[in-house]
Amino acid sequence: MTAETVIGAVGAKAEFRTCQYTGLKVDAAAQKLIIANAVAAVVFLLLGGVMGLLVALTRWPAVHLLPADWFYLVLTGHGANVLLFWIIFFEMAILYFASAVLLNSRLAAPKLAWLGFLLMIAGAVMGNVAVLQGESSVMFTSYPPMMARPHFYLSIILFAVGALIGCGIFFATLVIAKEERTYEGSIPLVTFGALTAAIIAVFTIASGAVILIPTMLWSMGLISDIDPLLYKVVWWGMGHSSQQINVSAHVSIWYLTAALLIGAKPLSEKVSRTAFLMYILFLQLASAHHLLAEPGLDASWKIVNTSYMMYLAVMGSMVHGLTVPGAIEAAQRRNGFNRGMFEWLRKAPWGHPAFSAMFLSLVFFGFIGGISGVVLGTEQLNVLMHNTIYVPGHFHGTVVAGTTLAFMGATYLVLPLIFQREILWPKLAKMQPYLFGIGAAGISLFMMGAGTLGVARRHWDITFSDANLSFAHSAGAFLMMGLNGIFAIIAAVGGAIYVVVVVGTVLFGEKIKGGHKLTFPLHAGGGAVASHYGSEKTPKLPGTIILVTIFFVCFVLYYFINWKYLSELWLFR
Amino acid sequence: MPPTEANAPQQDERVPVMQRILDNPFLLLFLGVTLPTVLYLIWGVMEVASVPLAK
């Protein structure tokens, strides 16, 4: 059976160029689609980022910028634009890069891929129109009985169908590459990580279709009602799993960046692939942690899906948390940075924005998003901060300080390698990941702090000025929300610099020609490492072991501090 | 052509089961969709469906 018979009408002709920096063959059709998806991603990041700043300035009690109706409208738009549109457009670019480019293959069915892209654009534009019309301020979760206009639900369905087509193109390209023997042995680890993301995306999109199609019919008056608890169960199969696509994709970006910039091979292909397999099998089950406080669901379902199965996925993340810095240390030592415990880390390319973004993403994702995710996923501890602003604090640690920062770093690779433009304003580009990373980490930490003090999520006014029964949060809670606002401004400045550098580079950056020396260079042979199966031989990792030990100590301390908090809440007699 | 000494062991080399699983994207797709569908979605929907109706 040939690739053509598996996939159908696949154009066998493809135009390739060879990248002068990586040696990879780049299919022109894949390149155009990567560019289109990356541009769309940045546009929706800009829109969602501005809305996010407005949300933070409203939740800052001293500023309290927007009136209530605008606050909920903007909060809905912020969630849709950054959690769905920015990230999934960028993930489509990653899927096409990790399949066609890394496997030196032609892309399957480019016309179909463009159809998917257009559906995603139509969905994203329609979603923003629906939100800005003001009758769909149901927030990202859109829980019934709150009802949005039918085209709000339709927009997400269209976007999801487009993304599903993109996943199909990815799988088909894997088949073509295998059939045409464009690679030897197993697919590279980065492509395997992208495969993990695509698999989770299929489950995510299917869950979304199962619940959003009937919800749209309900909003059209064709179905009498939607059971709120049933909606929550199925919706979170999409809502949380969509964030697990991000985790798989940004871990792939970590490996890719380490390979291209330092020549880092995985410490062990088997171990890293097994960690991705744990994601494939168990990561989506963590959706249940959003439902740990629901009385209608049995404790067995909650505990199996979170405290048992989720921990296996967490183990996968902890494996990557060891193997990514470990691979960097091993490669740096091979490159000659062998003195002491940490010369490899001190002499890492911190001035390369792709590296600094990747490493900060790794640290913030692990220490902030990862640890807080385990705490939230523990049924007993969850009651401490369920539906408080701790929850957005957690997912800003994973999706903003983790995924978004990693994707920003990847952009500094995509611009010279795919857009073939030299990065404009390199000094701004160098500082951008630090500014955005520190801002995003601050947002996460201070929201988590405020949530621990009881501040509710999604609440327009924490002073409860129009409530019949008065309530006053502690001064510490107000301080945390103020600091959250300040760090949101820092992150917004970092985000604005990112958009300015990217747009400036795409429009005015020097066109890269043969023999051009990059401002931010790659490791010689990095392309070959990224595109081939192979593990590091006999690595020594004393520095990484110390870093991982620090992580574990923080993890254990924070976990048990929360059990201590819990024991102070309730007296068990 | 009969196998030479040089290439015979390579031909006989068996790919480990785990690697064969990891090299099969469609098996992984099946596992990655089926497991959460059964453990999370179907079991969760059955839980909701078993909640008694208020009278």
Walk along chain A (573 residues) and give the pLDDT tens digit of each residue. 444 444 444 456 789 999 999 999 999 999 999 999 999 999 999 999 999 999 999 999 999 999 999 999 999 999 999 999 999 999 999 999 999 999 999 999 999 999 999 999 999 999 999 999 999 999 999 999 999 999 999 999 999 999 999 999 999 999 999 999 999 999 999 999 999 999 999 999 999 999 999 999 999 999 999 999 999 999 999 999 999 999 999 999 999 999 999 999 999 999 999 999 999 999 999 999 999 999 899 999 999 998 888 888 999 999 999 999 999 999 999 999 999 999 999 999 999 999 999 999 999 999 999 999 999 999 889 989 999 999 999 999 999 999 999 999 999 999 999 999 999 999 999 999 999 999 999 999 999 999 999 999 999 999 888 888 888 999 999 999 999 999 999 999 999 999 999 999 999 999 999 889 999 999 999 999 999 999 998 788 999 999 999 999 999 999 999 999 888 876 655
Secondary structure letter of residue A100 according to DSSP: I
Please tell me the distance in Å from A84's CA to the nearest CA on chain B. 20
Tally of structural domains, chain A: 1
Looking up residue A70, the CATH number of its domain turns out to be 1.20.210.10
Q: Which residues of B touch A241 (CB under 8 A)?
A: 36
Tell me the C-alpha distance between A476 and A455, whole Å: 11
CB contact under 8 A, A273 and B22: yes
Cβ separation A199–B29 shorter than 8 A = yes
- Report the candidate in A339, A335, A405, A401 with the shortest Cα–Cα distance to residue A371: A401
> Does B24 reach chain A within 8 Å, measured CB to CB?
no
* Domain annotation covers residue A6: no
The answer as to whether A13 is a domain residue is no
Q: Is the ipTM of this complex over 0.90?
A: yes
Choose, out of B22, B23, B50, B53, the residue to mutate when testing the contact with A (most A CBs < 10 Å): B22
**Is residue B54 less than 8 Å (CB to CB) from chain A?**
no
For B25, the closest of A195, A230, A273 (CB atoms) is A195
Q: What is the pLDDT of residues A454-483, one digit of tens each?
A: 999 999 999 888 888 888 999 999 999 999
- B31 and A CB contact within 8 Å: yes
Which residues lie closer than 8 Å to A242 by C-beta, 6 or more apart? A83, A84, A87, A88, A201, A204
Let me know if residue A5 belongs to a domain: no
A370 belongs to a structural domain: yes
Nearest to B43 among A196, A291, A301 (CB): A301
Which residue in the set A186, A200, A297 is minimally distant from B44, CB to CB?
A: A297
Residues in B touching A196 (Cβ below 8 Å): 32
User: Are A339 and A372 contacting, i.e. CB atoms less than 8 angstroms apart?
Assistant: no
Q: What are phi and psi of A17, to 5 degrees?
A: -125, 160
**pLDDT score for A8:** 43
- Coil, strand or helix at A224: coil
In a domain, A256, yes or no: yes
Which chain B residues touch A237 with a CB distance below 8 Å?
36, 40-41
Answer whether residue B55 shows pLDDT above 80: no
| Other residues' Cβ atoms within 10 Å of the Cβ of residue A427 | 8
Place of tokens 């640890």: A371
> Which of A433, A446, A448, A447 lies closest to A402 in space, CA to CA?
A433
* Terminal-residue alpha carbon distance, chain B: 81
From the CB of residue A285, how many other CB atoms can be counted at a distance below 10 Å?
Answer: 25
- Name the residue among A400, A401, A403, A375 with its Cα closest to residue A388: A375
Which of chain B's residues have a Cβ under 8 Å away from the Cβ of A187? 23
Query: Are residues A203 and B22, on separate chains, in Cβ contact within 8 Å?
Result: no
CB pairs under 8 A between A and B: 88
Q: Is A10 part of any domain?
A: no
Domain that holds residue A264: 21-567
User: B22-32 burial by CB neighbour count: b if 16+ within 10 A, else e?
Assistant: bbebeebbebb
CA Rg, chain B, in Å? 23
Average pLDDT of chain A, as a whole number:
94
The answer as to whether A336 is a domain residue is yes
Q: In A, which residues are within 8 Å of B19 by CB distance?
A: 186, 270
Q: Which residue of A has its CA nearest to B24?
A: A186
CA triple A135-A136-A139, angle to 5 deg: 140
| Contact between B48 and A296 using a beta-carbon 8 Å cutoff | yes
Listing DSSP states for A527-540 in one string gives HHHHTS----SS--
- Looking at chain B, which residue has its C-alpha nearest residue A186? B23
Angle, vertex CA A4, rays to CA A168 and CA A195, nearest 5: 30
Name the nearest CA neighbour of A484 among A384, A546, A556, A397: A397
Q: Which of A202, A233, A280 sits opposite B44 (nearest CB)?
A: A233
Q: Is the pTM of this model over 0.90?
A: yes
The 10 Å CB-count burial string (b at 16+, else e) for A523-533 is beebbebbbbb
- CB-based contact, B35 to chain A, within 8 Å: yes
Q: For chain B, give me the number of helices (H) and strands (E)?
A: 4, 0
A506 domain-assigned? yes
**Cβ A432 vs Cβ A408: under 8 Å:** yes
Q: What does the alpha-carbon distance between residue A437 and residue A435 come to, in Å, rounded to a whole number?
A: 6
**Letter string b/e over residues A481-520, b meaning 16 or more CB atoms within 10 A of that residue's CB:** bbbbbebbbbbbebbbbbbebbbbbbeebeebeeeeeeeb
Minimal C-alpha gap between A314 and chain B (Å): 16
